[in-house]
Amino acid sequence: MNTNEVRVRFAPSPTGLMHIGNVRIALFNALFAKHNKGTFVLRIEDTDASREVDPGGIKIIKDLEWLGLSYNEGPFFQSKRASLYQAYFARLLEKGLVYRCFETHEELEEKRQRQIARGLPPRYDRAALKLSDEQVNQFLAEGRPYVWRFKLLEGTAVIKDLAHGDVTFDFSHFSDFTLTRPDGSFTFIFANFVDDVDMRISHVIRGGDHLSNTAMQAALYQALEAPMPQFFHMPLLCGPDGKKLSKRDFGFSLEDLRSGGFLPVAINNYLGIMGGSFEDEVMDFEALVKAVRFDHLSAASQVRYDVEKLRWLNHKWMARISADERAAFVLPLIKQAYPAAAHYTVDQVRALLEPISGELTTLVDAPALLRFVFERPTFLVAGAEPLNYMQHRAFFKSVLSMPADTGVELLEKIKEMAKAEKRSLKEVLSLLRLALTGSPTGLGIAELGILLDVNEIRVRIAPLAE
């Protein structure tokens, strides 16, 4: 492999929602390519049609676009590369390194259970390799389904891993593995190997759960005398309790985070720094390219995924992005939440967000904080009684007719009059918030004056005078 040309790939299967672990793998491939002025390839591994739920990988492509992770080549689809796999398979067949296996899944499972019961490691016993040509021809004539297996030779293979160093695989600990499915399509292990060779992939960056696959692919590299790439088997993500992430855990999928109001820059930021130590933890993609040390990678088997740390970073980024960006992200959420905002523009939403920008941890906080702008709250006396509402009724009646051109001016005059009359400012301001927003706590009076029209404010505080 030409080590001067860095070529990496992200190779997801279109079999469901993008797992957050896959997002991290895509990110690190993109970071590594950019750091080394290399090429980032997108490859859709869609050879198993029975599991495909995202035809054409459209969702995958849109997810990468939303995250801002740009690839240089692709997307390539394995489903369109069968002739290439067949050509590589023919070379193995010519070398006598493959054989047909006719056993059914049930027969193989029965053998496996017998081996486990005897305390033996479950491995294929090569029974099919012992079939005579006559038996094979008879089974073929009967139309028996079969798969092709790769015949592992004795010996070892050594791979270079960026985190683990040299990793040695002893093939005596592995079984002859399948290269095809009963329908004739090629398996992940084989198609993945062929594509990496054909695309001249120099570094394979993927999850640590693929380490056992690497042994089989190393055997294929040896068999066809192909240059072997370097690897980085990344730590798997686990929850704060150290347990494997579950689909029931919030943040398991990218869709969880997107619908939860997290920014793509914050997601990339968190996935880029998790498990590491950085002087400045708030970084965009370009900063991560410079900060992530690929020559000092962790060899840990897992890293803890903490949504609360992600929330902290998202809060930082909500304040850092421009007012226009913030408004563009929030606009569709406001329109979805409130029919009255159906024709709102980015400029209008930007004006709404300005007084509350410091209160936003995620994007979905905005519609909740702004509910009172679009939906006039119902004033309930029961909610006002703990604030000594009856003692302030005459005061609120007197301020209703005070002249003011803006909401800010009116509320400031009410505040100053309350001070002059030595009223409990806490009670007066809490009653104002209750009447204006439906809650005695929340935004400051000045912010409420910006967000509500002066006439709307008069209408809402009128019940305080009744």
Q: How buried is residue 461: exposed, middle or buried, by Cβ count under 10 Å (0-12/13-18/19+)?
A: buried
User: Tokens representing 255?
Assistant: 């869709």
Determine the angle formed by the axes of helices 323-337 and 346-353, rounding to 10 degrees. 100
- CA 102 – CA 248 distance, rounded (Å): 39
Side-chain-side CA neighbours of 147 within 13 Å: the count stands at 19
Q: Looking at residue 400, what DSSP letter applies?
A: T
**Is 160 a catalytic site residue?**
no
Query: Which residue blocks in 118-210 are alpha helix, DSSP H?
Result: 133-141, 188-198
- CA 210 – CA 206 distance, rounded (Å): 7
Given a contact cutoff of 8 angstroms between Cβ atoms, the answer to whether 425 and 412 are in contact is no
Given a contact cutoff of 8 angstroms between Cβ atoms, the answer to whether 450 and 408 are in contact is yes
Query: Which residue blocks in 302-443 are alpha helix, DSSP H?
Result: 307-320, 323-337, 346-353, 365-369, 371-374, 381-384, 393-399, 407-420, 425-437
Q: Looking at residue 11, what DSSP letter applies?
A: -
- CA 238 – CA 218 distance, rounded (Å): 28
Helix, strand, coil share of the chain (percent; to 5):
55, 10, 35
SS3 244: strand
Q: Which residues contact 68 (CB under 8 A, 6 or more apart)?
A: 264, 265, 268, 285
List the catalytic residue out of 95, 244, 247, 419: 247
Q: Tell me which residues are annotated as active site.
A: 247
